[in-house]
Copies of this chain bind each other. A is one copy, B any other.
């Protein structure tokens, strides 16, 4: 069985690439999916349908276009990895975690120790908490290939 893993959260560091590379190095049979990680493209996704003057509606329109992708990919994944970095509000990552929780979709959080307390509700519904992408790879390797 090829596993389908959705990568949610932080887009300003290379955690996705590190995770994908280390999984590849272990020959794991995984399809990785993700939201659009090009920040500017993501913010202007709705502009494809006409530019908005009002900030709220511009964001609204773009966020809905992006949700066509994220909702579809989250619902078809087997496991989600939800990454919280040290910058920005990152409410979309917590939103994805809540979405997974309600669907009964297992997810692993990836964050540093200093975020333990503010992420306690998000971690409480997670199946595991990792601090490095390489740890996530170890877990995925165990889950997917161990006999």
Q: Could you tell me which A residues sit within 8 Å of B by CB distance? A: 1, 3, 31, 33, 36-38, 41, 45-46, 48-50, 52-57, 59-73, 76, 78-79, 84, 88-104, 106, 108, 115-125, 127-131, 135, 138-139, 142-144, 146-147
In the complex, what distance in Å separates the CA atom of A73 from the CA atom of B38?
A: 33
Q: Is the CB of A68 within 8 A of B127?
A: yes
Interface of A is mostly: helix
Q: Is the CB of B1 within 8 A of A61?
A: no
Copy count, this protein chain: 8
Known contacts A45-B142, A60-B120, A117-B59: does B102 contact A36 (CB below 8 Å)?
Answer: no
Q: Is the CB of A59 within 8 A of B99?
A: no
